[in-house]
Structure 1
Amino acid sequence: MSPIATSRFFRCVAIVWLAATGAVVAAPAIPAWSLLPQPAKLSPAGSGAATIADGAVVSVRGADRAQVQSMAERFVQRVADTNGLHLRLAATGAAHPAIAFDVEPNADVTDDAGYRITVDDGGILVTARTPRGAFYGSVTLAQLLTPAGWTRGAPVAVAHGVIDDHPRFAWRALLLDSGRHYQSVAEIKQLIDWMSLHKLNVLLWHLTEDQGWRLDIPKYPELTKIGACRKAVGFDRELTGSAEQPYCGFYTEADARDIVRYAAERYVEVVPEIDLPGHMQAAVATYPWLGVTGQRPPVWTEWGVSPWLLKPNEKTLQFVDDVLDEVMRLFPSRYISIGGDEADKQQWNASPEVQAQMRKLGLANMDQLQGWFTQQVAAHLIKAGRTPVGWDDELVAGATLPAAEVVMSWHGDDNERVALTAIKQGHDVVMTPQESLYFDHVQSDRPDEWPGPPPAATLRQAYDTVVIPNGASAAEAKRIIGVQAGLWAEQMPTFAHDQHAVFPRVAALAELGWSPAQAHDWDGFLQRMPAELARYRALGIGYADSAFAPAFQVTASEGGFRVELANQVGFGTLRYTTDGSAPTSRSTPYSRPLTLARDATLRAATFAADGFELAAPRALVLDETTLLSRDSSALATCSQQPGSRLEGSKPATGPRPLYSVDIGNACWLWPQASLDGTRHVAMTVERMPWRFGDEAKDAVVRHPADAAGEFEIHADSCTGPLLARLPLGSAARANGQVRLDAQVAMPAGAGARDLCVFATGDPRQGQWALARIAFSK
């Protein structure tokens, strides 16, 4: 064998041996650390890297060996699932592992949840005081092994340096509403897995609602026999398969224990919520004596705020104590949420018995009576060694809450005034403002945005959430114990929708809860998002790309159209095609407004610097109808409030339609419509069942010209000249979308005119939604 051949032979042997043992090998390129949430302190060495290849050895040493070993096994599986590297977990401490987890109670790290990662010529060492800290170190390490632009299964070079990390807040939470729509045990476990990969540590599990009681309570078995089922109305019929098949679902004691155990293994604490005295219609439907009227309402099929409150008397309090005793038996959490939000007191106010009790207790109003009721419930929890948690509504009303209660502040308007009031009263507070951290809200005003209520809670708004109320002193700021996002499920019937709502906004939540205040950097966050989105994709998470998706702004130009492209966050490179092909990372980059001819199709997508597709392609067809048509997302509402995104009925083929609707007011505005010479209008509409609860009080009723009602189009204002009337007739009885056509009485030479489009009749008898309006000449 020649010297060169011998050299090559031994070099090959060395590479195979190094890969098998996981030892450090040279890397041609060292990607920058791309970590989310951003750790407390990063100290890159500036040169050198440890390369982790297939077969690298992982070892565990130090205290709590069995617990850390179990965590390391999950880490190895997670790495295999995400980037395809198959690491080998040593049965006992290996002599020279590529990766080592070392748990020492006296380790020089900050916080029991903290850790240190050291990357040097010896490999990668994760040091922590506790298994919890080691777990969070493993989450960061998994991200180090999936840098921006990683190739599945290929060796990964990890830059030398030290990461010292610990959480900013103790409460980093996601609320999951299982009352409005039920999630399976497997789906909840999947969500817990993904939460833990964002270093979230609290699942606030909303288990009781007007629309369903979801937890088995053996002493009150009817709660799940009656209270866990509601009539299948609206889209619930599609979930059950028939209007005759009720929508049901609850969790057994075994289910609850299984979820608690699974979450604990991932350092997520399950905090149950039994919301009272409001949001209890399902309980009153089960046991009418719990209510004020003695009547049995149905389990609610509408959304909103129900007036069916618990009766605030001793018999009801005994029921609540019994329920909470069972809850405490199933959930070991120090915290138990008792809600207290949105208690519509109209039945209390109308009840002579409740009025008499209020006077007997020497209370001035019904808010004080709710405070008394809450005090009794909280005292039962405190006696059992638990800490009550509740919403901030009573503080908004000027009443008080039990001194020991943790307050979840969701009224973020008025400069976080309510949260500031809570901490000044001595409460620990969790910040969960609906304006930015209610993840059921829509994420954009795009025409393909998924269903949800307004206003939009964008990725940027989530990231910029105020977590310390303005005006709080340094001492008062310590009362803020964390942040929480809400996943309210009225319009989220499927786990796919849950994923779309949570991701990627949960990345912003993670950074709010974990990273130090001085690390808050929107631009840096965006730079780290491509690697995070690639991890989501590798894990099969159905995340929303709304923040990065291309949007089109079209105006007329000589002989064609002028098109401007942009996206919500102004990040990434927009690339486009006009030849019918899908845009790729090599397609033409957008740099200035485009001038395109008629009968063209523009396709655009957004790409990161490394070629990763940040947002899927969107298409725009440019033809004679482009400037003469609008869908409802491109129209304003007549109230000037943002519309709700509502889903229509599923058609025989194609996707389910989406509408922008001002609930209770079927009226839209098209400012400055250029409709010269148009003679005809076509509208696609759908009548949707009313299930919007207390929105009914604000419904706008317009007198119909015909018994079945009609759509009307007016110029200049909603009382201006009538341009077209489109009778509804048989459309009012149709299921799904229907098309309406009419001639337009457009004045000659009308120029650009403001248009008002509305449906007559009472929306509470069926809410009309507008899919599209199109004029033609």
Structure 2
Amino acid sequence: MRLVLAIFGMMMLLNIQAQQVKIIPEPVSMTVKKGGFIITPHTKIVSLKENQNQVDFLNDYLQNAYGFKLKVTNNLKQKGIKLLTANFKDSLAKAYKLSVDANGVQIEGKNEGLLYGISSLVQLFDYNSNQKSFTLPFVQIKDYPRFGYRGLMLDVGRHFQPVSYVKRVIDYMSMYKLNNLHWHLTEDQGWRIEIKKYPKLTEIGGWRNGTIIGRYPGKGNTDERYGGFYTQEEIKEVVAYAQKRFINVIPEIELPGHSSAAIAAYPELSCFPNESTLKYYPKDCKWAGDTVGKFVQQTWGVFDDVYDPSKEYTFQFLQDVLDEVIALFPSKYIHIGGDECPKTNWKRSAQVQAFMKKNNIKDEHALQSYFIQRIEKYINKKGRTIIGWDEILEGGLAPNAVVMSWRGEQGGIDAAKQKHDVIMTPNSYLYFDYSQVRKDDSVTIGGFIPIEKVYSYNPIPKELSKEFHHHIKGAQANLWSEYITNSSKYEYMLFPRIAALSEAVWTNPAKRSWNSFEKKLTNEMKRYQLLDINFSTGMFDLDAKAIPSKKEGSVLWQLSSKDLGAKIEYKQNSNDNWTKYTKPVSISQTGTSEAKMNSRFVKNEQRIKQDFSFSKSTGAKISLQTKPSESYPGDGAFTLVNGIINQVGLQNSSQFLGFSGDDCEAHIEFEKLIPINKIVISTIESEGSWIYNPKQFEISYSVDGKNFSTLIFDQNKVLKKLRNDYNYDFSINTDISSAKYLKVTVKNYGLIPDTLPGGGHKAWLFLDEIAVY
């Protein structure tokens, strides 16, 4: 028997020696040695009472994952898992040391540092729920975070989540050493926090009479009352739970825009208290319930009914609200929104205009700055600091404000240069409501941010000189909830991208490697299964895209999966037999190609059908003179001539390019001279998302690439065909007898009028295909 046990023990140790230690986020330094220490349900946690929160965190995790807890002793001579308080230097105050050797496990740190060590320790366990004995590899880890702010934003304004789930999100953050939960509590679609002085905020503002069905503008309305809110006792409960996990909870009270729910409760906050909410409601969205009076919004977007800055009542209301909020949240930071505030009602209100004139406020942007600065002064007097979205830069930045840069990185760069602290959260990298796969099986807001892109993010912009780097405090991901109605989808959109976020904000770039992370992630997915987390396996999906071919008039259909062992087959028409995929497939005519894949990471066989529509420009050489937005880069310039016509609007952003306020100028070169009788330009329009069709088209053509002739077509003089809810085709008759070089300039709509959604902002231009006939 002893021989059998000895052999078993040697096999376990040999397995440990061969095992790679996989920690997410990657530690600063880690040394793996030969040997292992065995943990069983009889192992003791050695700790003093001052570390009770950390003990509870470890035992809660073990109970949830493996069904047992460990007993605790304060006998420091006892072998087991020792949690020791250690005071590191100020710069390493959040650091920890983790060692596993023949004497057991020892974690050194203080407060959150000790908890971070436990977060790494539990990743040394096997991810098998039936296992009760674990051999942890001998390892030495020294670790500390790169950034002090590592956050996640949870939007409960559009779709409400119960306290139990908010706590679960906090646990998820603890798994990955994130330390700031930004809690988005008020919106046009719902007010979620009890304010005792203003009970109507939750009685009325916490509920809407219906919600649009499906993607904006919707296929109808649920006609069901929807909502919910947190009592102050529940808020205290969440804050206390987060504190035990050393997570700071930052409340967001939106102002001066995104305030429809508050105005529904107290109409006198509006510039026009007697105007019905229906006046501001998009005509193509269905409304439910009464139509006279103020109501909580039932669809998504930006609405003109905002707080009236000319009324003292508005500021007294907000100060009263903030008094109660500040009493509930010990956070140094209070987020006051400041984003997407239309100026339409301010411009048409005689009272607001008179107020501006009296107070020498030059324009509505300066009025927003006045609003933000007045609120900031009040919050500063309470010993707190405001955070605002990057729009608070417009009209002049409040003196002590922290800027949260979401519209790319430029707002953060500008703020840092003005010596303001910045939290980076660009929508091009860290918006987790965007799709993580090219073809999602459920509705998302659009966009495409795969996990690789999240992982590649560096919160320090390349354009920012070193002297301002210290103003970049960190980064956070945002999980907006227009199309996230339940906790299961929250998890699906969050995992596994939260793991990539953690390494982006914790680990120094020199220690980061996508190839290494990808291997760790495969193992990490076993943990998700262990913890019953609904995660996306999208990174292993069958991916298909059209890429340039060296052969004129054709494209290559590239099929791939990150599961290198996956079996991929294809056929080019329905009558063909399935062929094993070995290299990109040449496509040279209009038709439908199909592909299928079986993967060990994806439960069911995956199939893709792709329609190709060929024209003279399909597969042609193309370049862009203006780069598209980082949020909507498609597959680069080739997106416009790849033969794939978008049929699903915003759902698949790899099929279109997006330009924010910019024109698109595309240069196309053909192999030989050709006649060009017609050009069809495919676009997307969704006014509620500030996406507008172009105002003009310029077609320049040449036989030699030097001398060009130009044709100009106004949008209203071109044949326009609506293909479905969002997709348009503009057919331009050109009658060009001969050309080899073609310049197609699609003019952006420009500044959106105040009377339309997004008024006062630059319009988006979305282009799908340029087809030449």
Q: How far apart, CA to CA, are the structure 2 residues paired with 1:331 and 1:152?
A: 40
Instruction: State the match for 2:366 in structure 1.
Output: 368
Deviation at 1:67, TM superposition (A): 3.2
Aligned partner of 1:249 in structure 2 is 228
Instruction: Note the C-alpha offset of 1:456.
Output: 1.4
Q: What corresponds to 2:440 in structure 1?
A: 448
Mark the CA change 1:643 to 1:457 in structure 2 (over 3 Å): closer, same or farther. Answer: farther
**Does 2:193 align with 1:215?**
yes
Q: Compute the displacement of 1:295 (Å).
A: 2.3
How do 1:29-48 residues align onto structure 2 when only pairs under 5 Å count?
29-45=17-33, 48=34
Structural mapping, 1:549-564, within 5 Å: 549-552=541-544, 564=558
Whether 1:201 aligns to 2:179 is yes
Q: Tell me, yes or no, if the aligned pair for 1:304 and 1:695 is still in contact at 8 Å.
A: no
Q: 1 CA distance for matches of 2:198 and 2:271?
A: 19
- Let me know the Cα RMSD of the aligned residues: 4.9
- The yes-or-no answer on 1:411 pairing with 2:424 is no
1:718 paired residue among 731, 738, 742:
731
Tell me the SS of whatever aligns to 1:64.
helix
Whole-Å separation in 2 of the counterparts to 1:109 and 1:125: 22
**Secondary structure of the structure 2 residue equivalent to 1:235:** coil
User: Mapping of 1:620-769 within 5 angstroms?
Assistant: 620=608, 692=688, 718=731
Query: What TM-score do the two structures reach when normalised by structure 2?
Result: 0.72
In structure 1, C-alpha distance between the alignment counterparts of 2:417 and 2:405, rounded to whole Å: 13
Q: How far apart are 1:39 and its partner, in Å? A: 0.9
2 CA distance for matches of 1:549 and 1:365?
51
Kindly indicate whether residue 58 of structure 2 is the aligned counterpart of residue 72 of structure 1: yes
Q: Cα distance 1:252–1:658, how it changes in 2: closer, same or farther (>3 A)? A: farther
Q: 1:465 is paired with a residue of what secondary structure? A: coil
Q: Is the 8 A contact 2:17 2:137 kept in 1?
A: no
Question: What is the aligned partner in structure 1 of residue 704 from structure 2?
Answer: none
Pair 232,636 (structure 1): closer, same or farther in 2 beyond 3 Å: farther
Match of 1:121 in 2: 102
Structure 1 residues 28 and 291: CA distance shift in structure 2, 3 A: closer
1:90 paired with 2:72, answer yes
SS at match of 1:311: coil
In 2, the alpha carbon distance for the partners of 1:449 and 1:534 equals 23
- Tell me the secondary structure at the aligned position of residue 160 of structure 1: strand
- CA distance 1:57–1:589, change in 2 (3 Å): farther
Q: Does 1:421 align with 2:434?
A: no
- The answer to whether the 8 A contact 1:463-1:522 is kept is yes
TM-score under structure 1 length normalisation: 0.72
Per-residue Cα deviation, 1:125-145 (whole angstroms, up to 9, x for no partner): 111133x21211111011111
* Distance in 2, Cα, partners of 1:459 & 1:406: 28
- The one-letter code of the counterpart of 2:191 is W
For 1:658 and 1:510, locate their aligned partners in 2 and report how far apart those are by CA, in whole Å: 25
Alpha carbons of 1:448 and 1:407: their partners in 2 closer, same or farther (altered >3 Å)?
closer
Q: Which runs of 5+ in 2 are unaligned?
A: 278-294, 550-554, 571-578, 615-633, 659-667, 669-684, 697-714, 735-755, 757-773
Aligned to 2:82: 101
Q: Which runs of 5+ in 1 are unaligned?
A: 1-8, 580-587, 608-612, 649-656, 664-670, 672-687, 722-763, 765-777
Indicate whether 1:497 and 2:475 are aligned: no
For 1:583, the equivalent position in structure 2 comes to none
Indicate the residue corresponding to 1:528 in structure 2: 520
Match of 1:755 in 2: none
CA distance in 1, matches of 2:644, 2:357: 41
Q: Using the alignment, how far apart are the partners of 2:166 and 2:314 within structure 1?
A: 31
Report matched runs for 1:141-156 at 5 Å.
141-146=121-126, 153=131, 155-156=133-134
Residue of structure 2 in register with 1:679 after alignment: none
Does the Cα contact within 8 Å between 2:257 and 2:338 map onto a contact in 1? yes
Question: In the alignment, which residue of structure 2 is the partner of 1:740?
Answer: none
Q: 2:380 aligns with which of 379, 382, 388?
A: 382
Aligned 8 A contact 1:114 1:133 in 2: yes
2:529 equivalent in structure 1: 537
Deviations 1:512-549 (A, max 9, x none): 21112322322222222111222122222222222221
Identity %: 30
Q: How far apart in 2 are the matches of 1:90 and 1:169?
A: 33
Q: Please state how far the C-alpha of 1:367 moved relative to its aligned partner.
A: 1.3
Q: Is the 8 A contact 2:569 2:581 kept in 1?
A: no
* Whole-angstrom CA distance in 2 between matches of 1:221 and 1:87: 43
Report the Cα offset of residue 323 of structure 1.
Answer: 0.3
User: Which has the larger displacement, 138-147 or 319-328?
Assistant: 138-147
Q: Sort the Cα spacing of 1:644 and 1:179 in 2 relative to 1 into closer, same or farther, 3 A.
A: farther
The one-letter code matched in structure 1 to 2:353 is Q
Measure the CA separation in 1 of the matches of 2:647 and 2:447: 8
CA distance change for structure 1 residues 694 and 303 in 2, over 3 Å: closer, same or farther?
farther
Deviation at 1:151, TM superposition (A): 8.4
User: What is the match of residue 202 of structure 2?
Assistant: 224
Instruction: Quote the Cα distance in structure 2 between the aligned partners of 1:76 and 1:715.
Output: 55
Distance 1:301 1:521 in 2: 44
1:100 aligns to what SS in structure 2?
strand
Identify the residue that residue 329 of structure 2 maps to in structure 1: 331
Residues 546-599 of structure 1, C-alpha deviations (whole Å, 9 max, x = no match): 22211246999xxxx9975313xxx431422779xxxxxxxx996546899x99
Aligned length: 645
How big is each residue's C-alpha offset from its partner over 1:164-214, in whole Å with a ceiling of 9 and x where there is no partner? 011111111111111111112222222221111111111101111111111
**What corresponds to 2:138 in structure 1?**
160
State the alpha-carbon separation in 2 of the partners of residues 436 and 203 from structure 1. 18
User: 1:681 is matched with which residue?
Assistant: none
Per-residue deviation, residues 84-121 of structure 1 (Å, max 9, x unmatched):
xx563334437443x42322243689633221011222
Q: Deviations over 1:460-482 (max 9, x none)?
A: 22122231123434342111111
> What amino acid is the match of 1:572?
D
Q: Tell me the secondary structure at the aligned position of residue 92 of structure 2.
A: coil
Aligned-pair CA distance for 1:57? 0.5
Q: Is contact 2:569-2:580 (8 Å) kept?
A: no
CA distance in 2, matches of 1:159, 1:392: 46
Q: What residue identity is the alignment partner of 1:368? A: A
Question: What residue number does 2:560 align with?
Answer: 566
Q: Could you tell me how far 1:79 is from its partner in structure 2? A: 4.5
Verify the 8 A CA contact 2:568 2:596 in the aligned structure 1.
Answer: yes
CA–CA separation in structure 1 for the residues paired with 2:723 and 2:318: 50
Instruction: State the match for 2:240 in structure 1.
Output: 261
Relative to structure 1, is the Cα distance of residues 637 and 177 closer, same or farther in structure 2, using a 3 angstrom cutoff?
farther
- Deviation at 1:452? 2.4
Sort the Cα spacing of 1:717 and 1:482 in 2 relative to 1 into closer, same or farther, 3 A.
closer
Whole-angstrom distance in 2 between the partners of 1:168 and 1:642: 44
- Is the CA contact 2:86–2:108 (under 8 Å) kept in the aligned structure 1? no
Deviation readout 1:40-78 (Å, 9 max, x if unpaired): 111233xx1214354351312246143343233224325
- Residue identity matched to 1:269: N
The separation in 2 between residues aligned to 1:111 and 1:711, in whole angstroms, is 57
Rounded to whole Å, the distance in 1 between the matches of 2:729 and 2:649 is: 28
Is the alpha carbon distance of 1:715 and 1:380 closer, same or farther for their aligned partners in structure 2, counting shifts above 3 Å? closer
Secondary structure at the residue paired with 1:436? Answer: coil
CA contact (8 A) 2:16 2:137 kept: no
Judged with a 3 Å threshold, the aligned counterparts in structure 2 of structure 1 residues 620 and 439 are, in CA distance, closer, same or farther, namely: closer
